[in-house]
A and B are shown apart, each in its own frame.
Chain A
Amino acid sequence: AQSVTQPDIHITVSEGASLELRCNYSYGATPYLFWYVQSPGQGLQLLLKYFSGDTLVQGIKGFEAEFKRSQSSFNLRKPSVHWSDAAEYFCAVATRSNDYKLSFGAGTTVTVRA
């Protein structure tokens, strides 16, 4: 079955420390991969996306993600976290065979401590 897994429900990180959020997917077709962020009470903001080409993708707010086909992963990273990065992060997958409908992981909540 097609699925998107975010293994970490909640991560706490100190301000200034690095952050890595994991995302694994299970799809037969070539996936298109996205990371969205949601602040409390808000909608989803697109951080970055991967379609093809360079497997290291740069996004907004200093985030980057790396696509690893062999591991079926698309992990999100940020070298130095700011307090404003506290939010919920969602990994999403779309495929051409599924008409580009987004399938989301369960999300990872990031808490930033001073």
Chain B
Amino acid sequence: QVQLVQSGAEVKKPGASVKVSCKTSGYTFTNYYLHWVRQTSGQGLEWMGTIDPRGGVTKYAQEFQGRVTMTRDTSTSTVYMELSSLRSEDTALYFCATQTSPYCTDGVCFPDYWGQGTLVTVSS
């Protein structure tokens, strides 16, 4: 079955970078886009961007342009999200999610399988 397993919690200082991994299994990695969505404490869900694992093409939300980088490793079926210049407002639970519906032809779709989330805490 489809599984997404994320790396463990991180604590970072302001100005640092964090790199979160998302290892996938149970499906053909290059078939489906991967998204990153974050959730700040007590707040809603915020889409950060998506990556097409076939060619590594990315699409980022404007808010994160210049600070986020999404990459993939096809040999291990893993995607990565790196966020730089961290500030306290980036403290959040970060999720990876994939979209496996046959109706999804690009990244503009609905994620249906999610990782367990990775808590990133930014504190001096």
Answer yes or no: are A and B bound together in one complex.
no
